[in-house]
Amino acid sequence: MSLRRIAAVFALATLLLASASPASAQDVLTKESAAAIKASFLSDLETLRGKFVGLANAFPQDKYTWRPMDGVRSVSEVLMLAAFEGYSFIPTSFGAKAADLGPREEAAKLRMLSDKAQVIDHLNKGFAHAKKELEALDAATLTGKRKIMGRDLSFADGVIAIGGDLHEHLGQMIAYARMNHIVPPWSK
């Protein structure tokens, strides 16, 4: 699925959710609806993983510390942010477990990795962890609301918010690639 098509799907879903009447019955998903949303989200996560890893491979090692300006994440920092979302943010947002990355200080050091092979390894492991944890969730546990990013969100709204966040980081990586004259692998 092209990035433009994914953006259009998210925009349409956001518009539909924003225009829906706030009746309390619409705040509750059925188990079947939650299962369908979960399957769709898992598919999108695999697409995102492939694109992040593709870009990570396309960047040469000497560009992993490149950043467009001071105060903005470097290439490796954006990639490790995506890995950490898989390790922790995605699964814990829906009631699953974060990966055990050791003591907090050790996990914090991982965020600063800039070795290409290690970053790619963590991208794959982070997305694999999110996938494993989400697959293990019973869809019946996803029918209510959860506190995600400080807001009470339904599973569908949480998927849109988290998916949108990941797509935003992917867009950031695409912009970084283009600034460095790197063609995203799926565009060749």
What is the model's pLDDT at position 16? Answer: 47
Instruction: Give domain status of residue 8, yes or no.
Output: no
Global confidence as pTM: 0.84
Q: What is the pLDDT of residues 9-22, one digit of tens each?
A: 555 455 445 444 44
Stretches in the chain below the pLDDT threshold 50: 12, 15-16, 18-26
Q: Given this model, what pLDDT does residue 188 score?
A: 77
- Asked if 22 contacts 131 with a C-beta cutoff of 8 angstroms, the reply is no
Whole-angstrom Cα distance, residue 20 to residue 26?
8
Q: Could you give the number of structural domains in the chain?
A: 1
> Considering the domain boundaries, does residue 112 fall inside one?
yes
Tell how far CA 34 is from the center of its chain: 18
Q: Which of 4, 19, 25, 27 is nearest to 144 (CA)?
A: 27
Q: What are 73-85's pLDDT values in tens digits? A: 999 999 999 999 9
Cβ–Cβ < 8 Å for 161, 149: yes
Task: Look at residue 44 in the predicted model and tell me its pLDDT.
Answer: 97
Residue 22 in domain = no
The percentage of residues in the chain with a pLDDT greater than 70, rounded to a whole number, is 86
Quote the pLDDT of residue 22: 46
d(CA 179, CA 55): 13
**Is 35 domain-assigned?**
yes
- Residue 165 falls within a domain, yes or no? yes
Q: 87, 129 in Cβ contact below 8 A?
A: yes
User: Does residue 56 lie in a domain region?
Assistant: yes
Question: Would 169 be classed as within a structural domain?
Answer: yes
Return the SS3 of 99. Answer: coil
In a domain, 9, yes or no: no
- Structural domain boundaries, residue 104: 31-187
CATH of the domain at 72: 1.20.120.450
Q: What is the pLDDT of residue 14?
A: 53
Q: What is the pLDDT of residue 93?
A: 95
Token look-up 């898989």 returns: 86
